[in-house]
Amino acid sequence: MMSTLPVLDHWIAGTADPGTSDRTGPVYDPALGEVSKHVRYGSAADVDRAVGVAKAAFDSWGGASIAKRSQVLFGFRELLNQRKDELAAILTSEHGKVLSDAAGEVARGLEVVEFACGMPHLSKGAFSQNVSTDVDVYSVKEPIGVVGIISPFNFPAMVPMWFFPIAIAMGNTVVLKPSEKDPSVANWMAALLKEAGLPDGVFNVVHGDKEAVDALLTHPDVASISFVGSTPIAKYVYETGTAHGKRVQALGGAKNHMLVLPDADLDLVADSAVNAGFGSAGERCMAISVLLAVEPVADELIEKIRDRMGKLVTGDGRGSCDMGPLITREHRDKVAGYLDVAATDGATVVVDGRDGEFDGAANGFWLGPTLIDRVPTTSAVYNDEIFGPVLSVVRVATYAEGVELINSGPYGNGTAIFTNDGGAARRFQREVEVGMVGINVPIPVPVAYHSFGGYKASIFGDAKAYGPQGVEFFTREKAITSRWLDPSHGGINLGFPQNS
């Protein structure tokens, strides 16, 4: 029987485009547990067409005046600000996160748009007058061409906005391949960019899976790839993209630890652990998933956390809940499976998220907040990125034991220390091998005018997302040495040019 559900098209050359492939995939409303629409899965031919359109648009957009480009960005900022609730509602209907959290995601994306509005300043080069007699040297930042962006399901609006506002501001053109799990916000943002005056072809969206990703990674006319997702795919994207001559920034997975020293304010720690562990159902790359409690505070802290967890409402994000469902049934079951692993490995399940009551449809992909104590560091519960509402407690004897555990893990995305001892915090900041560090701040996502990225298996490539490193990534620098000749400068000299 033919489905009557809507099918989401690609967005190419400023309009919805069905592409050439028959392949589609389901998009769920996770709080209902039902398919709400289907999304097209682009073929290599669809990617080729989008890249061709973006390449053609680059001819004029790459040379558009600073005034024109900043006008479009300011226009986009205004429209997004006016209509952000609409975007948050679409986001919640496909991702599941509660509306206030979706609005927060949009707000953090808007920050990058605002940073990119400063492009007249950001795109300035440098000038050195009279480096040699009558010789000046100056540098200009030029766009790199067609840039590819591949984004994950957990921040379908914010992660693309980490990249495209800066890429567009600097004069590049874009092909975005969003997550196939919550793809609609990408088309909504594309239409809004058009409304803000962005010329057709500058921003394109091709939906799909590995086939579309591979076509982007290998396309000769794609200059760069900005990827965010899980570590194995980030590594693959980095290796494949660079092997095809592209600059690649590929941000991967995480397992973020929060180190609690005995002098910390345990009420503040408990609030922070609950917010950072269970916000967005733990589906954040900056979620806290391991609490390292330096004894003797673990028992008291666990009580405080358990108490707060008892008050959390898990349910449909459109209602007044604290936490929504997980993204798919498959992912929900995988996360819940770690509770069995915990029991087998000798950990203590303090709060079992499978037992909860949920304020939503029976078929929603529900799992309540879960707390596991005494998790062995050999257990998969400790070592895997679970990406769900599961907070593990590991008891350690000293600060040094805690830092050693953090530094011996494969990831290095985010971490936090909670203490009232400034010296200990300062030592932690220096000793910890993690790219983003919070001091009494559990989710230390840098503001838009700094850059976002971790260490080790949390990033491949040497450019972080947005901020100054984003500007560098989306530009290349040309250095010009100029001399306006006077007849006295003539003469033959085959030696290497020297300054005089």
Q: Which residues are known to be catalytic?
A: 285
List the one residue from 21, 154, 204, 392 that touches ligand NAD (CB under 6 A): 154
The whole-angstrom separation of Cα 281 and Cα 100 is 13
Sole residue written with tokens 């982007």 = 216
Q: Cα 60–63–64 angle (5° rounding)?
A: 80
Cα 90 to Cα 488: distance, rounded to the nearest angstrom: 69
Residues 134-153 that bind ligand NAD (CB under 6 A): 150-153
Which of 253, 279, 461, 470 binds ligand NAD (CB under 6 A)? It is 253
Is residue 155 close enough to count as binding ligand NAD by CB under 6 A? Answer: yes
Q: Which of 36, 100, 230, 383 binds ligand NAD (CB under 6 A)?
A: 230
Position 21 contacts ligand NAD (CB under 6 A):
no
Q: Binding of ligand NAD at residue 413 (CB under 6 A)?
A: yes
Task: At 333, give phi and psi (nearest 5°).
Answer: -70, -35
- In sequence order, what are the beta bridge partners of 7? 38
CB of 27 to ligand NAD, least distance (A): 13
Indicate the residue among 206 and 297 with the shorter CB distance to ligand NAD. Answer: 206
Q: Report, in Å, the least distance between residue 495 CB and ligand NAD.
A: 51
Output the smallest distance, CB 157 to ligand NAD, in A: 12
Q: Are 67 and 351 in contact (CB under 8 A)?
A: no
Side chain identity at 251, as an amino acid letter? Answer: L
* 3-class SS of residue 233: helix
Number of residues that bind ligand NAD (CB under 6 A): 27
Q: What angle do CA 25, 163, 7 make, to 5 degrees?
A: 20
Length of the chain: 500
Query: Applying CB under 6 A, does 434 fall inside the site for ligand NAD?
Result: no
278 touches ligand NAD (CB under 6 A): no
Kindly identify the residues of this chain, within the stretch 171-190, that bind ligand NAD according to CB under 6 A.
Answer: 177, 179-180
Do residues 237 and 227 lie in contact, with contact meaning Cβ atoms separated by under 8 Å? yes
How far is the C-alpha of 113 from the C-alpha of 448, rounded, in Å? 9
Binding mask 454-473 for ligand NAD (x = CB under 6 A): x---x---------------
Applying CB under 6 A, among 143, 229, 279, 470 the residue interacting with ligand NAD is 229
Say which amino acid occupies 229. G
Q: In sequence order, what are the residues at sequence separation of 6 or more whose Cβ sits closer than 8 angstroms to the Cβ of residue 247?
A: 144, 223, 224, 225, 461, 463, 473
Compute the distance between CA of residue 461 and CA of residue 474 in angstroms, rounded to an integer: 14
For residue 328 the two structure tokens come to 């798919």
By beta carbon distance, the residue nearest ligand NAD is: 229
Write each residue from 329 to 368 as x if it is in contact with ligand NAD (CB under 6 A), else as -, in one continuous string: ----------------------------------------
213 is an interface residue for ligand NAD by CB under 6 A? yes
> Should residue 390 be labelled a site residue for ligand NAD when binding is judged by CB under 6 A?
no
Say whether 149 sits in a helix, a strand or coil: strand
- Indicate the DSSP class of residue 248: E
Question: Which residue in the block uniquely carries the two structure tokens 């590991």?
Answer: 394
Nearer of residues 23 and 83 to ligand NAD, judged by Cβ:
23
Residue 285 found at the interface with ligand NAD (CB under 6 A) = yes
**Interface residues with ligand NAD (CB under 6 A)?**
150-155, 159, 177, 179-180, 209-210, 213, 228-230, 233, 251-254, 285, 385, 387, 413, 454, 458
